[in-house]
Amino acid sequence: MRTFAVRTLGCKVNQYETQRLVEQLEALGWRESANGDAAELCIVNTCTVTETADAKSRQALRRFRRQHPGAVVVAAGCYCERDRAALEGIEGVDCVLDNAEKERLVEVLGLLPGADTPLPSGISRFAGHARAFVKVQDGCDHFCSYCILPYVRGRSRSRPMAAVLDEARSLVGNGYRELVLTGVHLGDYSDGESGLPEMLRALDGVEGPLRVRLSSIDPMEVTPELVEAVVSCETACPHLHVSLQSGSSSVLERMNRDYTREEYLEVVERAAAAIPDLSVSTDLMVGFPGETAGEFADSLDVVERVGFSKVHVFPFSPRAGTPAAERTDVIARDVVRQRMARVAAGAEGAARRHREGFVGRTMPVLIEGRTKDGRFDHGFTPNYLKTLVEAADCTPGEVLSVRIVSCDGTRLYGRPEMAS
């Protein structure tokens, strides 16, 4: 049997696309190499959202070449769209495929035995995960001034709802208890007259134990209709990852974001008032060109006021071809590091205060694995609070009823009461 190895960088969409590729290769009789076995085909599904992602993609390609000297090494995905020549120049990289070619990888590489060979169009499992990501949308039309994704992913487009529902039924039938809806710009999802609220309601009708989570969404897409759907659908998780990027209206304008600081706060406050036990997480960029001390203070203030359950804080990374990359008012690296540290400290305090509200509660926790020392099972509550549970006789994918006994800035701690 022919063997392959794959490495995925970047977002949930990339992870989904890798899983689909894996299932297509398996349908053709290939198997994924394990335990250091040599592979005949090595694929890196690249990311190019930051300089760090570029570097990790190049490192993964070179590592595959060292570990599998006789393999065909393939670079695929977003980095290939942005700078194909750079990847073609890496010694030992045999093939570079953009996103459209990645979609047809088995065909492009000549692996199909015949033109009419049937291949899986979606996924039936999500290897190595207790939760399954489900891609419902791709591309973006919004062109934020710092973002490369519209250039490498193309214009916004959505999967038919019927295909998503079929995939959801298959995943639930294979034992998955949580599905995470994901896209490059998830809030742009549209199938005719149906958007995300209609998607949540349709998934609420899928038979079997299920909870449905939304991945990152922009604030102006957290509409009253979406909030109502989260409230009314039993399967919808009370967690929203509402992208902030900056707490300063002037920085948001330079970023070409379509909301102000005040609008962001209004959206989050409205959702929190309507959705019981809501947790809100976010992304926050530090060091956007020209960011003043006052503008940065506005971001710190939003972190304090919202009380995010988690803040992904990251530095501005110039992407060639975007307007922000042309700016000359660059923030010094030591200033960026200091500001990131201040955000991290503020975010941890806010997260602790949010978590303290759940101490003494009993909550369902989807178990994802066990800590290395064997003392705890770890997983997430419906509102996406990471929880360490005193180790019980359970397996990943199982849902435990857990009594929450304490917390810190990043986790809850609990004792199991019963399995469900």
Query: 362-419: CATH homologous superfamily?
Result: Nucleic acid-binding proteins (2.40.50.140)
Does 419 score more than 70 pLDDT? no
Mean pLDDT of 322-346: 97
Tens of pLDDT along 95-133?
Answer: 999 999 999 999 999 998 877 788 998 999 998 899 999
42, amino acid identity? C
Q: What global pTM score does this model have?
A: 0.94
Tens of pLDDT along 149-202?
Answer: 999 999 999 999 999 999 999 999 999 999 999 999 999 999 999 999 999 999
Whether domain 3-108 has CATH 3.40.50.12160? yes
List where CATH 3.80.30.20 sits in the chain: 132-356
Q: Which of 29-38, 85-94, 292-301, 383-392 has the lowest mean pLDDT?
A: 29-38
**% of the chain surpassing 70 pLDDT:** 99
Residue 97: helix, strand or coil by DSSP?
strand
Tell the residue number behind the tokens 């978590």, with chain if given.
Answer: 355
> Can you give the pLDDT at residue 34?
85
Does 40 score more than 80 pLDDT? yes
How would you classify the pairing of strands 178-183 and 362-370? unpaired
Counting Cβ atoms within 10 Å, is residue 244 exposed (0-12), middle (13-18) or buried (19+)? buried
List where CATH 2.40.50.140 sits in the chain: 362-419
Cβ contact 370:391 at 8 Å:
yes
> Can you give the pLDDT at residue 117?
81
Does 17 score more than 70 pLDDT? yes
Q: Which CATH number is 132-356 given? A: 3.80.30.20
List where CATH 3.40.50.12160 sits in the chain: 3-108
For 69, residues 6+ apart whose C-beta sits below 8 A from its C-beta are none
> Can you give the pLDDT at residue 27?
94
Tens of pLDDT along 196-221?
Answer: 999 999 999 999 989 999 999 999 99
What's the whole-number average pLDDT of the chain? 95
Detail the DSSP E strand segments found in 116-165.
132-138, 157-158
d(CA 135, CA 142): 19
> Can you give the pLDDT at residue 418?
60
